[in-house]
Amino acid sequence: MAGPRAPPGSARRRPLSGSASGQTEGVRSDPDRSPADRSYLDHAATTPMRAEAVAAVTAELTRTGNPSSAHGSGRAARRVVEDARELIAARLGADPAEVVLTGGGTEADNLAVKGAYWARRDADRRDVLVSAVEHHAVGDAALWLAQTQGAQVTLLPVDAAGRLDLDAYAAALGPRSAVVSVMWANNEVGTVQPVRAVAEAGRAAGAVVHSDAVQAVGHVPVDFAASGLDLLSLTAHKLGGPVGVGALLARRSTALAAVQHGGGQERDVRSGTLDVVGVAGFAAAVDVAVRTLQEEAAREVALREELFARVRAAVPDASRHGASPDDPAAGLPGVLSVQIPGAPGDAVVMLLDAAGVDASTGSACSAGVTAPSHVLTALGVSEAEARSVVRFSLGHTTTAADLDRVSAVLPDVVARARAAAAYV
């Protein structure tokens, strides 16, 4: 499917209104409830900072010095940044020179998609290929290139589990292919993509290949050099670091045009004074998340499967979306996308919130959207079914006590949500 097309749902955003908000009128979370009295099951939106990251941030809060300055204080700040860069590179199979520090995953995705396209358009390569389940940071960037820069965007289909159709991808590649972007792991259903195969085919066709690995790093094994990718995005707050800092891993041979201009920092493709405090916390979080990945992933998979068993015990007709649980490598260990027939997802989330459980209906970056998830519809889920999906996402602070709380409140939550829906 060639030509400029929006990822499903990206052009239909509007404020929350209508019957969805009326279904749970009067339900509010208790503002006096402390975090200790809540069960946080929305780690795919953001995860609590790890103690190591808090310590690294705290140690740098009183530091004075711009890391671009030549004096002693500036050089000391620069050393903190470069030590962090080296640690991030070491943990992710990259060279330190390939780590371009950014303000987060969205900025890294925009720099990858737009920067790679702008750097190549003189070569008469105008085709941008993105999967149909990309985060809006990639999907909307590609759409913008189509609307304003002459790009031809192709949405690559996925199967019912959310896995890329490699045959359709191969057919879409050609001599005009400029940029390919396929996420490493999906934020809504957790499916892990065949990144190595995507990279091999894309680079063979002469395209620059990028992967949004925001959800993957620290949760599944990620090795930049072994992946064959040209570009890879990540962010700190999805793996236990601070909000507001991330990185684009970029092969030194990959040309990028700057998206913002200024002092020429970060290989002259991402100008701006670096956040020394945030970068230090970022590196600490990457370090501990990657070092403990195998043990933590096994723990989260066990908790995820136990949670789904409890959901099914409370709601026998509930089902799940995403990769098969029989193949642990096919999905993120902590993401559970559950469909509860007859219970609007936003109503379930509101009622869970009031009961002290934090969950989501999909990507937190699309909060307030009444249109069904473009990820779920790309999987072949009907719009009506997509509106009855709740995402639970587990992380390093999740315990069995959190599952106990869900088990205790879910039957009443679902009953009330279904009853409210019956009157709409």
DSSP at 424: -
Residues 6+ apart with CB under 8 A from 49: 57, 240, 241, 242, 281, 285
Question: What is the C-alpha to C-alpha distance for residues 245 and 254, in angstroms, rounded to an integer?
Answer: 22
- The tokens describing 410, both together, are 């879910």
Alpha-helical segments (H) within 173-240: 195-204, 224-227
Q: Are 41 and 393 in contact (CB under 8 A)?
A: yes
Q: Please, which contacts does 378-381 make with residues 24 or more away whose CB atoms are closer than 8 Å?
A: 378/8, 378/132, 378/133, 378/157, 378/158, 378/162, 379/133, 379/158, 379/159, 379/160, 379/161, 379/162, 379/189, 379/321, 380/160, 381/321, 381/339
Backbone phi and psi for residue 271, each to the nearest 5 degrees, phi listed first: -70, 155
Q: Are 234 and 105 in contact (CB under 8 A)?
A: yes
Residues labelled as active-site residues: 365
Give SS3 for 124: coil
* Interhelix angle 72-92/276-291, nearest 10 degrees: 20
Neighbours of 240 (CB within 10 A): 27
- The tokens describing 204, both together, are 């063979």
Q: Are 353 and 33 in contact (CB under 8 A)?
A: no
Neighbours of 313 (CB within 10 A): 12
Classify strands 357-358 and 389-393 as parallel, antiparallel or unpaired: unpaired
Question: What is the C-alpha to C-alpha distance for residues 398 and 391, in angstroms, rounded to an integer?
Answer: 15
Residue listed under structure tokens 């050609």: 174
Q: Are 352 and 413 in contact (CB under 8 A)?
A: yes
